[in-house]
Copies of this chain bind each other. A is one copy, B any other.
Amino acid sequence: MNEQQEKLRHSLSHVLMQALENLYRAVPGVGPAIEEGFYHDFDSKIKITDKDFKKIKKEMKKIITRGFPIEKETMSIEEGMKLLKDKKYSYTLELAEGLKEQGETEITFYRQGDFINMCKGPHLNSTDEINVDAFTLTKIAGAYWKNDENNTMLTRIYGVGFETKEELENYKEMIKEAEKRDHRKLGKELDLFTFSELVGSGLPLFTPKGTLIRDLIIEKIHGLQEDFGYQRVDIPHITKSDLYKTSGHWEKFGDELFKVKGQGDTEFVMKPMNCPHHTQIFASKQTSYRDLPVRYTEATKVYRDEQAGELIGLSRVRSITQDDGHVFCAPDQIEQEIKNIISIIRGFYKSLDMFKEGDYWVSLSVRDPQTPDKYLGEEKLWNEAESILEKIAKDEKLPYKRIEGEAAFYGPKLDFMFKDALGRERQLATAQLDFIMPNRFKLEYTDKDGEKKTPVMIHRAIAGSLERFMAIMIEHFAGAFPFWLSPVQIKIIPIADVHREYAKEIFGELKKRNFRIELDNSDDSFGKKVRKAKTEKIPYFLVIGDKEVEEKKVTVESRDEENLGQMTIENFVEKLEKETK
């Protein structure tokens, strides 16, 4: 959001409040500009719903076209508080009192026509600078005053605002598309996952097709990383709290930790991450410099007690499957190991056609120089680590930006940001250096010189949380997954009963070659079968009719390329093999 957009959206928020005051004598709460729009909280004796949006927009347009100058007024805090009291703006008055307590002596107001409220700005110069055709109201919701559930519940109206009508139309189009692609909707249509009232919210259950997608992602990543010596390990989902007290996560995670209670007094906890467990496998035997790097990997669930209100489909869950990996290495091995991880990330996102110039960038996440106390570990180590990561980013020709303050408290990292089909940016893969945890767990290896030394730890994720990743992929591909990721790759549709025999033969041929296929043997009409295959977004379906049986061919319909005509099964398989390479 640039400054002009911020002024526009902030002014729209005031215009909305002015309209609400005119129409309903509503009393204002806060009303900021936000990404792509604005909102305003208010208290109203009259119940307002989205059915009233038309009326409110009409009033807003009236205010806009009247062209009120928007004027800033500075007052002494006493004068300002008196004004708010006279206007019975009790919420704003409470904010002013807060400012007074903080020692403020002056406050600013913005006035447009009859409407005046305390505000820091910035604003446009006049209401008619707002394009009446480039804004709309989108949503109405409840919102606690000061976001505290012990306070009064106010009403919040959201809107969006742009400079041109075209921008608004594009935005509406994007929202419509996003709704169509919503992974909760598509997840149900494609039968990928479900939730159960009895199991609880934020705890998804994956159906066979959804599980297959999960497994394909895990196997794809493992296939890539196996070449770099990653080995699978397996850990339990609970631990004594001692493990997290040693690692330091006990304090960090606080309320988000699920506590576990058995018959005895032992304090157990569900793991919110895997690194502490993995250190215990490393620590289980003597390690020589010759054994390094040691690379563990595991796709396993961690549990975090997110607030019920914040849970959204697969995007935000309580059972989070991490595609996790930890490397224990000597300091002079860091560079090669991070380069290997970048190789894996590149290979994986290329297989999704997402590793394309302009579609991704890399955050070189370093310390905030203003707050050195936030970070643990020696200054010298940090400087070295940050330069190694920067050197690697350059060597690998990554489109990177140095982002200060984004480092973890234990070390700097490379975060990979990808754009999805609707242009939304998502942080997915990451490689993080860690100088702290190996020390806390007293990990060591015997170096060439016979000395005991502490290894460096690298945390890495390729897809991140599999649940969130699946949500993003479902929306990115609108359910039309690439061939390798499709739960069903090919569907065979016999036109009539007499074609079933040959269809079965074709099925056998393709099954032998390990493709994931379905044979539609239902009694549905041919048209319905085709419509079903299309809804399921299956990459290819093969139609089998008289001609196909006679000529020992199949008619190939492609999801992405439409009708490909008749061909022999050998030619079809050749085509697939060429593509998957």
A111 interfacial by beta-carbon distance below 8 Å: no
A208 interfacial by beta-carbon distance below 8 Å: yes
Please name all residues of chain B whose beta carbon is closer than 8 Å to the beta carbon of A301 when the two chains form the complex: 236-237
Contact of A283 with B214 in the complex, beta carbons under 8 Å: no
Please name all residues of chain B whose beta carbon is closer than 8 Å to the beta carbon of A214 when the two chains form the complex: 234
A205 interfacial by beta-carbon distance below 8 Å: yes
Interface of A is mostly: mixed
Please name all residues of chain B whose beta carbon is closer than 8 Å to the beta carbon of A280 when the two chains form the complex: 194, 196, 198-199, 205
A255 interfacial by beta-carbon distance below 8 Å: yes
Type the 1/0 row for A86-105, where 1 means its CB is closer than 8 Å to any CB of B.
00000000000000000000
Contact of A260 with B264 in the complex, beta carbons under 8 Å: no
A261 interfacial by beta-carbon distance below 8 Å: yes
Q: Which of A200, A236, A261 has the most CB of B within 10 A?
A: A236
Contact of B205 with A284 in the complex, beta carbons under 8 Å: yes
Which of B199, B205, B233 meets A234, CB within 8 Å?
B205
Please name all residues of chain B whose beta carbon is closer than 8 Å to the beta carbon of A258 when the two chains form the complex: 238, 260-262, 268
A4 interfacial by beta-carbon distance below 8 Å: no
A296 interfacial by beta-carbon distance below 8 Å: yes
Please name all residues of chain B whose beta carbon is closer than 8 Å to the beta carbon of A204 when the two chains form the complex: 236
Expressed in whole angstroms, the Cα–Cα distance for A207 and B294 within the complex equals 11
A422 → chain B closest CB, angstroms? 28
Contact of A208 with B296 in the complex, beta carbons under 8 Å: yes
Contact of A239 with B203 in the complex, beta carbons under 8 Å: yes
A163 → chain B closest CB, angstroms? 43
Type the 1/0 row for A246-277, where 1 means its CB is closer than 8 Å to any CB of B.
10000000011011111110101010000011
Contact of A198 with B243 in the complex, beta carbons under 8 Å: yes
Of residues 174 through 195 on chain A, the ones whose CB sits less than 8 Å from some CB of chain B are: 191, 194
Please give 4 more A-B residue pairs, beta carbons under 8 A apart, in addition to A211-B231, A238-B258, A258-B262: A198-B276, A208-B233, A236-B318, A259-B262
Please name all residues of chain B whose beta carbon is closer than 8 Å to the beta carbon of A261 when the two chains form the complex: 258-261
Which of B205, B231, B305 meets A235, CB within 8 Å?
B205
Contact of A200 with B270 in the complex, beta carbons under 8 Å: no
Expressed in whole angstroms, the Cα–Cα distance for A62 and B240 within the complex equals 53
A-B CB proximity, top 4 nearest:
A208-B231, A262-B305, A194-B284, A236-B319
The answer to whether residues A208 and B232 also contact, given A242-B198, A261-B261, A280-B196 and a CB cut-off of 8 A, is: yes
Q: Which of A196, A242, A258 has the most CB of B within 10 A?
A: A196
A112 → chain B closest CB, angstroms? 43
Please name all residues of chain B whose beta carbon is closer than 8 Å to the beta carbon of A540 when the two chains form the complex: none
Counted per complex, copies of this chain come to 2
A292 interfacial by beta-carbon distance below 8 Å: no
Expressed in whole angstroms, the Cα–Cα distance for A234 and B239 within the complex equals 22
Name which residue of chain B comes closest to A256, CB basis: B263
A382 interfacial by beta-carbon distance below 8 Å: no
A387 interfacial by beta-carbon distance below 8 Å: no
A52 → chain B closest CB, angstroms? 34
Contact of B263 with A255 in the complex, beta carbons under 8 Å: yes
Type the 1/0 row for A509-533, where 1 means its CB is closer than 8 Å to any CB of B.
0000000000000100000000000
A578 interfacial by beta-carbon distance below 8 Å: no
Expressed in whole angstroms, the Cα–Cα distance for A212 and B230 within the complex equals 12
Which of B211, B232, B276, B284 meets A211, CB within 8 Å?
B232
Expressed in whole angstroms, the Cα–Cα distance for A232 and B211 within the complex equals 6
Contact of B238 with A319 in the complex, beta carbons under 8 Å: yes
The answer to whether residues A200 and B239 also contact, given A207-B284, A260-B258 and a CB cut-off of 8 A, is: yes
A198 → chain B closest CB, angstroms? 4
Please name all residues of chain B whose beta carbon is closer than 8 Å to the beta carbon of A263 when the two chains form the complex: 255-256, 305, 307
Please name all residues of chain B whose beta carbon is closer than 8 Å to the beta carbon of A234 when the two chains form the complex: 205-206, 210-211, 214
Expressed in whole angstroms, the Cα–Cα distance for A194 and B284 within the complex equals 7
Expressed in whole angstroms, the Cα–Cα distance for A49 and B395 within the complex equals 69
Contact of B232 with A199 in the complex, beta carbons under 8 Å: no
Which of B197, B281, B307 meets A205, CB within 8 Å?
B281
Which of B199, B284, B307 meets A277, CB within 8 Å?
B199
Name which residue of chain B comes closest to A521, CB basis: B290
Expressed in whole angstroms, the Cα–Cα distance for A215 and B303 within the complex equals 23
Expressed in whole angstroms, the Cα–Cα distance for A258 and B240 within the complex equals 13
A276 → chain B closest CB, angstroms? 8
- A–B Cβ pairs within 8 angstroms, 28 of them: A191-B285, A194-B281, A194-B284, A196-B283, A198-B243, A198-B280, A199-B235, A199-B277, A200-B238, A200-B240, A200-B266, A200-B268, A203-B238, A205-B235, A205-B280, A205-B281, A206-B235, A208-B232, A208-B233, A211-B231, A211-B234, A212-B232, A236-B318, A237-B270, A237-B303, A237-B319, A258-B260, A259-B261
Expressed in whole angstroms, the Cα–Cα distance for A416 and B266 within the complex equals 36
Please name all residues of chain B whose beta carbon is closer than 8 Å to the beta carbon of A1 when the two chains form the complex: none
A81 → chain B closest CB, angstroms? 38
Please name all residues of chain B whose beta carbon is closer than 8 Å to the beta carbon of A290 when the two chains form the complex: 522
A308 interfacial by beta-carbon distance below 8 Å: yes
Expressed in whole angstroms, the Cα–Cα distance for A138 and B79 within the complex equals 94
Please name all residues of chain B whose beta carbon is closer than 8 Å to the beta carbon of A296 when the two chains form the complex: 208
Name which residue of chain B comes closest to A321, CB basis: B234
Name which residue of chain B comes closest to A212, CB basis: B232
Expressed in whole angstroms, the Cα–Cα distance for A214 and B300 within the complex equals 15
The answer to whether residues A199 and B303 also contact, given A231-B208, A280-B205, A319-B237 and a CB cut-off of 8 A, is: no
A194 → chain B closest CB, angstroms? 4
